Structure 1
Amino acid sequence: MTANKTPPMATPRVASGALFLDGEGRVLLVRPTYKKHWEIPGGYVEPGESPRSACNREVQEELGLKIKVGRMLVVDWAPAENEGDKLLFIFDANTTATVLEQDICFSDGELSEWRYVSTDDLEDYVPDRLARRVRTAVEASGQCKAAYAEHGIATE
């Protein structure tokens, strides 16, 4: 390699989402109007924006809730065949907010409904890779730690 050439490096897409749990340990999922499956609240990080800031922004845009998410629960390296490398973050939303049903509002038309779903039933709503990531986040939340994952599975 010459001094003028930069070695190849990853330029992953980055997204972040919020983990809301109810008193029974069920996960808050939202149904986008433009997808066939459900998601957790969140979305892509914009240029110059941190993953935590993006998560706060997305929760406000999608659910109408102005919160500051808590600690990072998971960072997941999860490349997708048709999208390339991805780094996906999940932040704990329960450390700073209690979701009250009457406070959730869909103002931008991006979402059509929300519900709490048992971790045992996640595959009925979300792709397998997201189900794995969410379960890793729930486990990290219960253990008060952060996890590094690949394809949704925590590594040591």
Structure 2
Amino acid sequence: MDRMDRVDTIARPAAAAGALFVDEEGRVLIVEPTYKRHWEIPGGEVEKGESPSEACARELKEELGLDLPVGRLLVVDWAPLVREERVRFVFDGGVLTDEQLDAVELAPDELASWAFLPCEELFVMMEPRLVRRVTAAVDARAAGVTRYLEDGRVV
């Protein structure tokens, strides 16, 4: 079978990238999208021609009004769904200062609000799969490593 015969069998996952930001107390920054029920970390879809880190930086600028460098990769999560396969990247956004938080300007058509939550309380606001991904990113940040996940679980 040549490549052209295999086109329908090759995975083409939708990619997205987000940033893990924490405050001085180690709580995680989460945002409330206007277009879905669950909260998430800031970030969004990777567009054609851009890398995941470029997409993350662009999304932070669009969603939060913050022009910040994107830190190291914390986790890559293979996140299959019934409709599509997805790959999600989480980068280290670092600790946000009071000055940076004062400069946050939410994109009103995308985000309604933001909050900091302790890791153990994320399940209240986020989908279980995303809680697993963010928790793994928090752990990877603390350990100074990058982790590979499948459906939010360390493999």
TM-score category of the 2 structures, normalised to the smaller one: over 0.9
TM-score (norm 2): 0.93
Q: Hey, what does 1:109 align to over in structure 2?
A: 109
- The code of the aligned residue for 1:53 comes to E
CA distance in 1, matches of 2:150, 2:65: 31
Please state how far the C-alpha of 1:4 moved relative to its aligned partner.
5.3
Distance, in Å, in 1 between the alignment partners of 2:15 and 2:132 is 18
Sequence identity (%): 46
In structure 2, what is the equivalent of residue 59 of structure 1? 60
8 Å contact from structure 1 (residues 61, 108) kept in 2? no
Q: Counterpart of 1:136? A: 136
C-alpha deviation, 1:108, in angstroms:
4.4
TM-score of the superposition, structure 1-length normalised?
Answer: 0.92
Map of 1:68 onto structure 2: 69
CA distance, structure 1, for counterparts of residue 3 and residue 12 of structure 2: 21
Determine which structure has the larger helix proportion and give its number.
2
Between 122-131 and 103-112, report the one with greater CA deviation.
103-112
Structure 2: 5+ residue runs without aligned partners?
A: none
Deviations 1:14-57 (A, max 9, x none): 00000001111110000011111101000000011100000000
In 2: Cα distance, 1:3 partner to 1:121 partner: 47
Corresponding residue for residue 119 of structure 1: 119
Work out the CA distance in 1 between the residues paired with 2:105 and 2:38. Answer: 20
Please tell me the root mean square deviation across aligned C-alpha atoms, in Å: 1.6
SS in 2 for 1:47: coil
- Provide the C-alpha distance between the structure 1 equivalents of 2:3 and 2:60, rounded to a whole number of angstroms: 44
Residue matched to 1:94: 94
SS at match of 1:5: helix
**Ranges in structure 1 where 5+ consecutive residues have no aligned partner:** none
- Matched to 1:36, the amino acid is R
Q: Find the aligned partners of 2:33 and 2:3 in 1 and give their Cα distance.
A: 47
Give the distance between the partners of 1:37 and 1:66, measured in 2 at CA.
25
Corresponding letter in the other structure for 1:91: F
Cα pair 1:71 1:91 within 8 Å, conserved:
yes
| Number of residue-to-residue matches in the alignment | 153
